[in-house]
Structure 1
Amino acid sequence: MELERVQQIASLSKCMDTIPTDYIRSENEQPAVTTFHGVVLEVPVIDLSDPDEGKIVGLISEASREWGIFQVVNHGIPDEVVRKLQQVGKEFFELPLEEKELVAKIPGSQNIEGYGTRLQKEVEGKKGWVDHLFHIIWPPSAINYRFWPKNPPSYRETSEDYAKRLRGVADKMFEYLSKGLGLEPSEMKDGMGGEDLIYMMKINYYPPCPRPDLALGVVAHTDMSGLTILVPNEVPGLQILSNGKYKSVFHRTTVNKEMTRMSWPVFLEPPPEQEIGPIPKLVNEENPPKFKTKKFKDYAYCKLNKLPQ
């Protein structure tokens, strides 16, 4: 029987110096060849406790235009809340495979929620060295607890607490990003669906890889969400709504030979039927639309299947 989960493959590969060919990237993608070893540039760090809101808006706007990624500190989410979130995630992936499969993705479904391995189509058919768990954490009307682990027992309470606190941070981010474009505070969030905005959490699990020089956890990509909040970083992906003024950062994930790596991004996505396009105030004769307006579900389908937008 073919092994599907990377965690299984990794456990059998501990004493080997090779990995299945499906996981070996083409030469122009291999970390050994493509990793930059020069001067390390520091990602902007922004203190949200600064009493000067205008300064915060300016820094976030600049980072979004120039980098497409920034880190926030003093954001108001207690360290203990984040620690508990990480702990229950680790405990889930330490469970026997049979128990993890209880919340597996539904075969053949277009829904990405659940425990799984492959997410999107890759042109060369290569696989990422990663397993993951996807599920919606907000709004309550969109949550399907069929995809939430029952073990560890504190998983639900911990995730709901994090979601509640994260919403406050996300609202401030949208407000600052709107003001940075000269818009009303609510316009960026409203353009994404307002209170119907969907918070999709993904736990990435990258087990040790015998050949980290040949494999990638996640291939280089841009996120399809409007805003991605990653423990502990903020990664905005607001390129369409801002009509190209804010960047959507191109990023990938490498793996480690000795240690397991994990991450907890939350993708803030419009509802499937939401029409997404440049905010009208940001479009004129000198700055015509750079993106088509379309339903988010159609945009997401093209993104996941590597189809032109």
Structure 2
Amino acid sequence: MEVERVQDIASLSKETIPEEFIRSSNEQPALTTVCGTVLEVPVIDLSNPDEEELVKAIVEASSNWGMFQVVNHGIPDETIRKLKEVGQAFFELPQEEKEAYAKPPGSQTIEGYGTKLQKEVQGKRGWVDHLFNKIWPPSQINYQFWPKNPPSYRETNEEYAKHMHGVASKLFRCLSLGLGLEGDVMKAALGGDDMVYLLKINYYPPCPRPDLALGVPAHTDMSTLTILVPNDVQGLQACRDDHWYDVEYIPNALVVHIGDQIEIVSNGKYKSVLHRTTVNKERTRISWPVFLEPPSNLKIGPHPKLIDEANPPKFESKMYSEYHASKLNKTPPS
């Protein structure tokens, strides 16, 4: 059965939305968002030459917030502009052209164009379509799922992936030093250079009832770090003290989420952030998260150097593939 794309539903929905997009009252943005308050999550200057100061800022943000925004990160504004341009251009293609990149039915791959990603409670749907591409390492890239239109899509994303390395390495180093470990330990524990950089483009079309729907429901990211570029349409929300707040948009900043695997390796010192996405009545929101994923066969648990009698392990070690499957299918960990 062909999946109905949200972009198509949006083009037909003028005043109402189908029942499967209406969230329960404890999730509806109109009832659960703290209005008038924009959450000013920590903003960190990644070019700070004082490493000790930089580490301290990242540790504080990762321990108390689970998210932060980085500026002066070294990725040229022009590279980010092109990334946004080619991503938006793909979703503006005729529907049949987009469908050529659709995930094959029943396929185990996450790559490709799609709508449904994970099992949703009570059969509810998110108001979003997406495109997944692995952009690093080269051995993991499957160009079958990379759009040929616009023609600069491939070149732009390969350029972005190159710059992403520097940012990721610096963040892993600071997170590692912040735990009292050598600078390369955290990255190595999560797969080192075999880590997979998975780009997702989220496309949230205008929604007639943004008070009732969510783009993506509340979740923590299952990977290590998420490094995200949003467009200028408000939508990212974070949970703080059991309340939902809009996260401030800063042009050309990168939003960094601590994911579950870093919380596990740090034995709970760093916290993975609970977040969700709202939608807009008039404008399309788009975001470009890159998930830094451990190799699927890597077993991950609290780092042995962080465990002693006073600090017993808070998490069980398990293969990333097992963790990934249980989280997507909403099954209890085995």
Matched, 1:4 2:4: yes
CA distance in 1, matches of 2:195, 2:130: 22
Q: CA deviation at 1:37?
A: 2.1
Q: CA deviation at 1:117?
A: 0.2
Q: Which moved more, 1:278-287 or 1:258-267?
A: 278-287
Q: Residue deviations 1:202-251, cap 9 Å, x none?
A: 00000000000010000000000100000131112221110100010000
Matched, 1:234 2:256: yes
Q: Residue deviations 1:147-173, cap 9 Å, x none?
A: 100100000000000000101110000
Identify which of 319, 322, 330 aligns with 1:298: 322
Q: Does structure 2 retain, via aligned residues, the 8 Å contact 1:47–1:75?
A: yes
> Aligned residues, how many?
307
* CA RMSD across the alignment: 1.1
Q: CA deviation at 1:41?
A: 3.4
Amino acid at match of 2:135: I
Match of residue 281 from structure 2:
257
Amino acid at match of 1:5: R
Q: Does structure 1 retain, via aligned residues, the 8 Å contact 2:196–2:293?
A: yes
CA distance in 2, matches of 1:2, 1:294: 35
Q: CA deviation at 1:33?
A: 0.8
3-state secondary structure, aligned to 1:40 = strand
Identify which of 293, 296, 310 aligns with 1:272: 296
Q: CA deviation at 1:40?
A: 3.4
3-state secondary structure, aligned to 1:240 = helix
Q: Does structure 1 retain, via aligned residues, the 8 Å contact 2:3–2:115?
A: no
Amino acid at match of 1:225: S
Match of residue 162 from structure 1:
160
CA distance in 2, matches of 1:307, 1:36: 31
Match of residue 73 from structure 1:
71
CA distance in 1, matches of 2:258, 2:92: 31
3-state secondary structure, aligned to 1:181 = coil
CA distance in 2, matches of 1:92, 1:41: 31
CA distance in 2, matches of 1:50, 1:296: 33
Q: Does structure 2 retain, via aligned residues, the 8 Å contact 1:3–1:9?
A: no
3-state secondary structure, aligned to 1:112 = coil
Match of residue 43 from structure 2:
45
CA distance in 1, matches of 2:26, 2:47: 42
CA distance in 2, matches of 1:293, 1:60: 25
Q: Residue deviations 1:39-96, cap 9 Å, x none?
A: 4331101111111110000000010000000011101000000000000000000000
Quote the sequence identity (%): 70
CA distance in 2, matches of 1:209, 1:272: 36
Identify which of 180, 183, 187 aligns with 1:182: 180
Q: Residue deviations 1:264-309, cap 9 Å, x none?
A: 0000000110111111111111111111111100000000011122
Q: CA deviation at 1:2?
A: 6.9
3-state secondary structure, aligned to 1:183 = coil
Match of residue 332 from structure 2:
308
Q: Does structure 1 retain, via aligned residues, the 8 Å contact 2:301–2:316?
A: yes
Match of residue 88 from structure 2:
90
CA distance in 1, matches of 2:33, 2:307: 38
CA distance in 2, matches of 1:289, 1:308: 19
**Which of the pair is proportionally richer in strand?**
2
Amino acid at match of 2:295: P
Q: Does structure 2 retain, via aligned residues, the 8 Å contact 1:25–1:214?
A: yes
Matched, 1:222 2:234: no
